[in-house]
Amino acid sequence: MFSQLNRSSGEIVQILMTIGYDQYVSWTPELSVSVEEFDSQHQVLIGLIQKLYGAMENGEGDGVSTQIVKELIDYTDYHFAVEEENFRIYGYPDAEAHIAEHQTLLKKARELYQGLEQGRTVLSNEILDFLQDWVMNHIMKTDVKYAGFFNNRKIQIRDRAASSR
Ligand SMILES: [Fe+2]
Ligand SMILES: [Fe+2]
């Protein structure tokens, strides 16, 4: 997956090592997309991955982990919707490709969740790596591209409870 990145794979691995890829993934300023609201939403996403690691480490049942994966997908769906709404409001030029990437990520994540729910997939470190990669790569490779665009623009954050997605 690293080979598809614009940043060199060595650079990405370096960043992942800095943020503790081998253990817990955590938000650091290197992950900043220079938009406060989106940085805080990314922190929530990373927090959910940490929660998942924690549940696995503590030997919680599969049901608990699967529920956290569901939470992660739901929050990601909401976060993507907020990004996309602001792309629309401000006419972000790279919106189309960015939204396509969101859809691919959600599709993969939903397949993963279905596998877990139906017992076809077992939550393993491999899956955690995938989730981590999914969130981190997207933030570092794709979200970071809007950093300059949203500079000084007021981000509209919809109420999550009222969100239709
Ligand atoms: Fe994002
Ligand atoms: Fe995004």
Given a cut of 80, whether residue 113 has pLDDT beyond it is yes
For the ranges 20-29, 91-100, 124-133, the maximum mean pLDDT occurs at 91-100
Cβ neighbors of 134 (< 8 A, separation 6 or more) are 105, 108, 109
Q: Any idea which ligand is nearest the CA of 84? A: 2
- Quick one: which of 151, 157, 137 has its CA closest to 5? 137
* Full domain range(s) for residue 98: 2-146
Closest ligand to residue 142's CA: 2
Phi and psi, residue 148, nearest 5°: -70, -35
* Tally of structural domains, the chain: 1
72 dihedral zone (left: phi>0; alpha: psi -120 to 50; beta) = alpha
Q: Is 60 domain-assigned? A: yes
CA of 42 to the centre of ligand 2 (A): 10
Alpha carbon of 143 to ligand 1 centroid (Å): 5
Is 144 a residue whose pLDDT tops 90?
A: yes
Measured in angstroms, how far is the CA atom of residue 53 from the centroid of ligand 1? 21
* Alpha helices per DSSP H over the chain: 9-18, 36-57, 62-90, 95-117, 125-137
Share of the chain above pLDDT 70, in %: 82
- Residue 47 lies inside a defined structural domain of this protein: yes
Neighbours of ion ligand 2 (CB under 5 A): 83, 143
57 Cα–ligand 2 center, Å = 29
Global pTM value:
0.82
pLDDT in tens, 48-102: 988 988 888 788 877 888 999 999 999 999 999 999 999 999 999 999 999 999 9
Run of H or E residues at 91: none
CATH number at residue 19: 1.20.120.50
| 162 in a structural domain | no
In a domain, 115, yes or no: yes
The end-to-end CA distance of the chain, in Å, is 28
The residue assigned the tokens 């940043």 is 7
Ligand at shortest distance from the CA of 98:
2
**CA dist list (Å): 69 to 4, 21, 42, 63, 113:** 25, 19, 15, 10, 7
Residue 163 inside a domain? The answer is no
